[in-house]
Amino acid sequence: MSNLIVHGGRPLRGEVIPSANKNAVLPILCATLLTDQPLRLIGVPEITDVKKILDIFRVFGSDVAMDFSTGILELHHHLTSFDPAVHRLPEEMRSSIMLVPPLLARFGVARLENDVKGCTLGVREIDPHVEVFERFGASIEATADSLIVRTETQMRANSHWLDYASVTTTENFVLCAASAGGNSVLVNAASEPHVQEFCRFMAMLGVEIDGIGTSRLSIEGGKKLGGGEFRFSEDFHEIATFLALGAITGGQIRVKNTAPEQFPLIDRTFAKFGVRVIHQDGWSYTEVDGQLKVNKPFTPNILTKIEAAPWPYLPVDLLPIFIALGVKAEGSVMFWNKIYDGAMGWTGELSKFGAHVFLSDPHRLITFGGIRLSPASVESPYIIRVAIALFMVAASIEGKSEIRNALPIKRAHPKFVENLRSVGASVEWTDSETE
């Protein structure tokens, strides 16, 4: 178990350069397996999930030269091999599921362990993925602890309409379509910034994709793919996290942000707590007049509301960060998680700080903020952004708090503690594991 100890109550001030977005880096790493040409990736973050994928590439026999001090990865999958009887894809991370299409394209077989759930946010379905594999011509065998997926011939191009705009299912469709001969079309595709970044990488490999950033993707597949060099963009989650940390502690953190066009709805969500986000010259920072205070709607008898859903709605992974602002800001806010049915159970932990929140149902939570909070020892579930939200609340309260089981943060945010110290936080890991 790894815990974060924080001595809170200090306004955090300074500058942070955010890392790349885990949810762009991981599908892109999986996609690299589609080509036998050399690749150079720039800005690869030192996070647990990346290390797990690079380790499995080494086991497959690929050339992997990773220098985390520069963030440069040289990758060449020319002597790669895969044996479903021996090799196991990384567990406890959702992204393993995107190794399936490239393994099918190369070896005609993939084995997916049952434990590819990732963060414990409630049901995370495997069926939409299986449906995609089947549509491209794969057969599925369920064993006690895994799924074995096979293709006898080259995958068949097809058209598909998803039940809902799933991020990794969209990415899996594009991965399958890239190796299938002909034109494939996906309707109700996810369009998050990380999905767009992934599609741009696929285009660099030589896949023709129309509709990037929209809910309809058209992919010309079946061509031999090349190599090249790709530089990752900044992670909007990490940008929003450090902006929120500045605001909640009464300080101000400037965060590098070269894609402010992704932020209008995120900015308006900050504004609901009285936080102005300013984007200037490639950097973003926040301003608050006095204390955090919830803006009341003009419509009588309703609560200020924050809804998270597939892009272009507010990204669901940012919701815990805004819940942290909700317990600090004077006033009430209703948070509505339209995606996950089990992502709010942790909110009871907030009462250990003395916060008042009410879980209306599995999807909706009301915060009654502005109450005086006290330091506490709280337990994080296996959810990256919840460990961060609990940390945010702790950092805003004078005194020593502890976030137990905070290790999931290392799945997405390299140098989290180092970055925090650079902006004035008193924070340390205890019992830190080496991963």
* Separation CA 70–CA 347 (nearest Å): 38
Residues 332-391 that bind ligand PEP (CB under 6 A): 384-385
Structural Rg of the chain based on CA atoms: 22
* Separation CA 256–CA 281 (nearest Å): 9
CB of 364 to ligand UD1, least distance (A): 15
Residue 166 binds: one of ligand UD1, ligand PEP, none (C-beta under 5 to 8 A by kind):
ligand UD1
DSSP 3-state assignment of 208? strand
12 binds ligand PEP (CB under 6 A): no
Distance, CA of 363 to chain centre: 19
CB of 110 to ligand UD1, least distance (A): 17
- What is the edge-to-edge ordering of all strands in the sheet holding 364-369? 304-308, 331-337, 364-369, 356-361
Choice between 20 and 288, CB closer to ligand PEP: 20
Residue 50 binds: one of ligand PEP, ligand UD1, none (C-beta under 5 to 8 A by kind):
none
Please, which residues have CB within 8 angstroms of residue 377's CB and are 6 or more apart in sequence?
352, 401, 402, 404
Choosing from 43, 118, 137, 369, the residue that interacts with ligand PEP (CB under 6 A) is: 118
Choosing from 4, 34, 112, 119, the residue that interacts with ligand PEP (CB under 6 A) is: 119
Choice between 292 and 339, CB closer to ligand PEP: 339
Residue 87 binds: one of ligand PEP, ligand UD1, none (C-beta under 5 to 8 A by kind):
none
Please state, in angstroms and as integers, the Cα–Cα distance from residue 407 to each residue in 104, 222, 258, 295, 375, following that order. Answer: 33, 41, 29, 34, 20
Instruction: Tell me how many residues contact ligand PEP (CB under 6 A).
Output: 11
Please, which residues have CB within 8 angstroms of residue 314's CB and are 6 or more apart in sequence?
265, 266, 269, 306, 307, 308, 322
CB of 169 to ligand UD1, least distance (A): 6
Handedness of CA 179, 180, 185, 186 (dihedral sign): negative
Residue 385 binds: one of ligand UD1, ligand PEP, none (C-beta under 5 to 8 A by kind):
ligand PEP
Residue 19 binds: one of ligand PEP, ligand UD1, none (C-beta under 5 to 8 A by kind):
none
Residues 85-114 that bind ligand PEP (CB under 6 A): 93-95
* Separation CA 424–CA 121 (nearest Å): 32
411 phi and psi angles, rounded to 5 deg: -75, -20
Where does this chain bind ligand UD1 (CB under 6 A)?
23, 26, 94-95, 123-125, 164-169, 310, 316-317, 339-340
Residues forming the site for ligand PEP (CB under 6 A): 22-23, 93-95, 118-119, 317, 384-385, 412
